[in-house]
Structure 1
Amino acid sequence: MKKETYKMGKLGKYEYMKKYTMIRAFLPDTRKATLSNIKIMMKLYKSVFLKPDEGTGGHGIYKITRSKSSFILRTGSNSRTFSSLNDLYTKVQRSLIRDKYIVQEGIDLLKHNNRPFDIRVMVQKNRKGSLDVTGIIGRQAKRNKIVTNYHSGGTPLPVETLLKSHLNEKSRKKYIQSIERLGKDASIVLGKNYRSKRAFGVDIAVDHKMNPWILEINTKPDMSIFNTLKNKTMYNRIRRYSENKG
């Protein structure tokens, strides 16, 4: 089997995937985190996220929000206000250069009980080598946190629970199916480059207009989050697939 052509961080995956029309519209604007790019994107969007190009688990992430006359920098549950983007950039410049950061369009996440959440779709290869959706789970951010990751204090919850206040039962079922389909489509596209990978964890944000956005695709997804659910059906299926018995 042909091995992956090259390893890609978040920016490389974004550049690669946006060539494909089937998923291009679902990708938030993502660029290298230079001062000029951050300035351009803060004119285009109300907020942006600064993320390590190759980081995982929600560590080292910053959020910049524009207010009338200042810029708010948030990390973890801390926030600081700057009068200019230049001053803000000076504060984080060393980290951005050392860890090769990207700047990504901020998606105003849908909320449940006043806490934002996103969705992880698990996609795995079956015995025949084709991709199946084996799990879907919601991740709700800890109060006052900017990231939803489980290892950063996020709460794993069934997607049905998180969507209950936004969609009725029939609409919810159809919507979840569309999210699963998007996760699979995105994995098929990225899988063309990562041919040896057997699993993909697709992180999908939903905005207030119910539009889905592909935030990131992990090529070494953590399955343990699914074990936190009371119903172990998905976790058992994921484990079965990971043992190549799918």
Structure 2
Amino acid sequence: MKTFKRKLGILAIFKGSIEEATFNEKSYYTRISLIGQKLGIRIFVFSPRHVNFASKTITGFRLVNGNWEKELFRFPVLIYDRFFRGPYVKKNNHILQEMQNNADLTFLGRGLSGKWQVHQMLSQSADLNPLLPPTELFTVQSFIEKLETNGSLLIKPLAGTHGNGVVRIQKRNSQDGQTKYELTGRTLHNKPFRLVLPSQKQTIKKVNRLTKKKEYLIQPFLQLATKEGFPFDIRILVQKNGQGKWQTTGKAVRIGNKKSITSNLHGGGMATALHPFLEDHYPQEICSHIIDTLDHIATTLPPFLEKKHGRLVELGIDAGVDPEGNVWIIEVNSRPGRDVFRHIKDRQAIATSIKQPVHYARYLLEEHIGG
């Protein structure tokens, strides 16, 4: 059993047997492990099902000469949580809760609990609240009132990712004078769909089926698309650095398909560099306003949210921009991906995004936790 003290365990999702190195994001963890070796930190990857609380041990996989080898480790001082929530939570929730409550384990950052909770925390900031779309929990009565008043709205699951389950509902007046309702979005399994229903009653029935197994939010449908009709958002990646300070790693634009209402890369979107995109779509003075607002969000949101929520290590902040140049905070993710920077070939952002969690881990080990 390895007793090396400077250890960082990466809590990951395994695609197959936990007896084999079948975890997601393997290339990312490989690069993290190589950085850890240079910094004197032993890194291993494990599943919640690898944890033995009685013996305070974890069976994990460590990179050895380019290969992932299974070993038995004593509890690491630090854990980097990359265990994406979703269908995996129910079967592992009791283990995750026990890990978070265990005095022998310290997380680099604790995962955010959901969109509604994040919205409630951010709405307490005088700086950030004006940038939040009006948001409330879904109820049938509220849904009917908002739809009839505004003519369109957006519903999204509290715990959804990658645009899954996000649906736009719009009232449409047909040529025969009848009101119809158009539903456009993605299922919880990320399948795009478009449906036109002839009555409010049938629309409510369909929405009830969509929201039956999950809690949903209601928001106004904002026009966050180019003049050509391509939906887009801006991903800001902020991370703690080797001095324990928040730092902006990079920004990039994600552009969706015209038939989509979201711009997630998992939904078939593409990515492009921020500044050229803005210059192509907005006048110079509006571009400057957008950049200033994004920088303000990047510096204001992380410390405020951390103060309300507890320790965080990195955040993916998704911002939308409407045709007038108003910036909106759409979503905040505590387990952000990095693919957007690979798509735009931003090598500096890619390298920084990978090294920061390990450098922050070293900071905690040396300055706060000891080693």
Corresponding residue of 1:182:
297
Judging changes above 3 Å, is the alpha-carbon distance between structure 1 residues 78 and 5 closer, same or farther for their aligned structure 2 residues? closer
Q: Does 1:30 align with 2:135?
A: yes
Q: What SS does structure 2 have at the residue aligned with 1:146?
A: coil
Compute the displacement of 1:223 (Å): 1.5
Q: Deviations for 1:197-234, whole angstroms, at most 9, x for unmatched residues?
A: 20011110101110000011001111122111123121
Distance 1:67 1:240 in 2: 50
Compute the displacement of 1:51 (Å): 0.9
Corresponding residue of 2:235:
120
Deviates more, 1:30-39 or 1:43-52: 43-52
Compute the displacement of 1:40 (Å): 2.6
Compute the displacement of 1:21 (Å): 0.9
Q: Any stretches of 5+ residues in structure 2 without a counterpart?
A: 1-105, 174-178, 187-191, 364-371
The answer on whether the counterparts of 2:226 and 2:281 sit within 8 Å (CA) in structure 1 is no
- Larger C-alpha radius of gyration, 1 or 2? 2
Distance 1:222 1:118 in 2: 15
What one-letter code is carried by the residue in structure 1 that aligns with 2:126? T
Distance 1:106 1:90 in 2: 20
Q: Does 1:105 align with 2:220?
A: yes
The answer on whether the counterparts of 2:236 and 2:250 sit within 8 Å (CA) in structure 1 is yes
What one-letter code is carried by the residue in structure 2 that aligns with 1:32? L
Distance 1:222 1:203 in 2: 12
Corresponding residue of 1:212:
327
Q: Deviations for 1:110-153, whole angstroms, at most 9, x for unmatched residues?
A: 31654121111111112232211111010101231111001111
Q: How many percent of aligned residue pairs carry the same amino acid? A: 23
Q: What SS does structure 1 have at the residue aligned with 2:211?
A: helix
Q: Does 1:95 align with 2:205?
A: no
Q: Does 1:70 align with 2:180?
A: yes
Q: Deviations for 1:159-214, whole angstroms, at most 9, x for unmatched residues?
A: 12321223355763553243122133222222223332200111101011100000
Distance 2:131 2:161 in 1: 21
Q: Does 1:228 align with 2:343?
A: yes
Deviates more, 1:122-131 or 1:188-197: 188-197
Normalising by structure 2, what TM-score? 0.61
The answer on whether the counterparts of 2:111 and 2:312 sit within 8 Å (CA) in structure 1 is no
Distance 2:316 2:277 in 1: 19
Q: Any stretches of 5+ residues in structure 1 without a counterpart?
A: none
Distance 1:113 1:53 in 2: 30
Q: What SS does structure 1 have at the residue aligned with 2:337?
A: coil
Judging changes above 3 Å, is the alpha-carbon distance between structure 1 residues 237 and 177 closer, same or farther for their aligned structure 2 residues? farther
> What RMSD over aligned residues (CA atoms) do the two structures have, in Å?
2.5
Corresponding residue of 1:195:
310
Q: What SS does structure 1 have at the residue aligned with 2:132?
A: coil
Q: How many residues align?
A: 246
Residue of 287, 301, 309 corresponding to 1:172: 287
What one-letter code is carried by the residue in structure 1 that aligns with 2:142? N
Distance 1:162 1:3 in 2: 34
